[in-house]
């Protein structure tokens, strides 16, 4: 298959949008430049007024398989990713059974190869069954390509066990992703401790629960010579903790989610569980600080923490309802709508933090729009709109604050190699 994307602007992780055409032949970008002529037999795709960008990559998703397929599964989760312009994902291991051994990893990767049209990677547990008492089958998972170890959904409470794991796995080239909270402080994990929790009469989870554990895990990684990645940072002080350690040369990376940039505790309103997540939404001041940290580079990447739940589960009372929202389908459009349109940041940041750096963290090459590179790209219409109806969404679940909302921007086409995965009318 040969395609010429003509008349658009090309996005890269450094610099502004640049007008240019992109020629793709047999899954490889063979030419990039202005006013390219279409060779015989090439399909011309008119992308005038639109943006050609590297496809996104999400290093923190929950596909719920095995054990919770009523919420999500590999097939639906990967199609949700494509719907949002994402062509690679890393699954979290808090499934049932947990992804803690070579056997479970092999089963999942074999299934993904059958049902997913995009590459699907998985993390592995630090501890067996995520129980926090003994190490998981780390070496067996490593031999199947697992590089990220995490007990995401919970911290590893025993610091000695975590340090031991870091000392064991680091020489293998593996790294650790930390879900940070002190269980004794976190309470019911329902919402931030503050004015809204007091108004709603629900015990809140203080930011210090996250921040104390974050500092502990980075200190342990420093002592063990390990690379630690801090997941879904939600508070300004947590971000400053990461900055402090980075300035001292510690191998720490960090992610921020779209929902912690966009929403805060004031959005919860009348016990709306679509705004319930862990770590919880914090304050408007935290939103501003996290955005500044993303622009400054304190955060290495954006990750959605895509966390599907059934309508029945999310319709329970606020404390009982599970934490989490979906994000794969709405991330790119919502970030464009809320931040690119008003000029807070540009496409260069989106490409760097939601495409290039997540891939690099996983030991994968970035996918720039450059001659000789494999074609892994999207076409995005900044003048378009996306309405997140249930019919539009490919995920099994629709627990998102954006449900039935219309945002600016549209992912119009997704190309992976020699296959068009998505092309809207």
Cis before 66 (ω within 30): yes
Catalytic residue among 73, 100, 286, 305: 305
CB 332 within 8 A of CB 351: no
243: helix, coil or strand? helix
Compute φ and ψ for 107, nearest 5 degrees: -60, -45
CB 226 within 8 A of CB 175: yes
Instruction: Give DSSP secondary structure letters for 319-364.
Output: TTSPP----TTTHHHHHIIIIITTTSS-HHHHHIIIIIHHHHHTT-
And the tokens for 188? Answer: 């019911």
Residue 133 is given by DSSP the state S
Whether 425 is a known active-site residue: answer: no
Distance CA 8, CA 254 (A): 33
What contacts 388, CB < 8 A, 6 or more positions away? 329, 330, 400, 402, 403, 404, 405, 406, 407
Residue 238 is given by DSSP the state H
Active site residues: 305
């Amino acid at each position: 298959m040969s395609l010429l994307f003509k008349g658009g602007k090309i996005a890269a992780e450094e610099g502004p949008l640049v007008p240019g055409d992109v020629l793709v032949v047999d899954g490889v970008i063979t030419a990039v430049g202005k006013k390219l002529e279409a060779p015989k037999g090439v399909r011309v795709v008119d992308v005038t007024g639109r943006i050609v960008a590297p496809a996104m990559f999400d290093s923190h998703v929950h596909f719920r398989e095995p054990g919770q397929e009523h919420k999500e599964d590999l097939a639906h989760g990967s199609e949700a990713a494509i719907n949002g312009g994402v062509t690679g994902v890393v699954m979290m291991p808090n499934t049932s059974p947990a992804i803690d051994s070579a056997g479970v990893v092999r089963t999942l990767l074999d299934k993904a190869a059958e049902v997913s049209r995009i590459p699907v990677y998985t993390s592995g547990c630090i501890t067996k069954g995520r129980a926090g008492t003994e190490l998981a089958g780390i070496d067996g998972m490593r031999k199947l390509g697992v590089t990220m170890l995490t007990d995401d959904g919970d911290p590893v409470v025993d610091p000695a066990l975590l340090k031991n794991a870091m000392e064991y796995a680091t020489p293998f080239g593996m790294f650790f992703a930390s879900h940070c909270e002190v269980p004794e402080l976190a309470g019911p994990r329902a919402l931030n401790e503050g004015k809204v929790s007091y108004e709603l009469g629900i015990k809140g989870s203080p930011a210090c629960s996250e921040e104390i554990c974050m500092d502990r895990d980075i200190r342990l990684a420093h002592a063990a010579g390990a690379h630690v990645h801090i997941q879904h940072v939600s508070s300004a002080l947590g971000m400053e903790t990461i900055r402090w350690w980075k300035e001292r040369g510690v191998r720490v990376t960090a992610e921020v989610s779209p929902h912690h940039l966009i929403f805060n505790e004031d959005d919860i309103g009348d016990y709306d569980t679509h705004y319930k997540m862990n770590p919880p939404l914090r304050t408007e001041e935290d939103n501003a600080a996290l955005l500044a940290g993303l622009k400054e580079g304190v955060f290495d990447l954006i990750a959605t923490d895509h966390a599907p739940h059934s309508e029945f589960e999310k319709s329970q009372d606020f404390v009982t309802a599970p934490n989490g929202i979906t994000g794969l389908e709405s991330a790119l459009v919502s970030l464009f709508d809320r931040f690119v349109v008003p000029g807070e940041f540009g496409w260069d940041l989106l490409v760097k933090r939601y495409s290039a750096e997540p891939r690099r963290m996983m030991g994968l090459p970035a996918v720039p729009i450059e001659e000789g590179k494999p074609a892994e790209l999207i076409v995005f219409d900044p003048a378009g709109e996306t309405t997140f109806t249930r019919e539009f969404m490919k995920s099994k679940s629709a627990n998102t604050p954006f449900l039935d909302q219309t945002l600016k921007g549209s992912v119009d086409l997704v190309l992976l190699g020699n296959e068009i995965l998505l092309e809207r009318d």
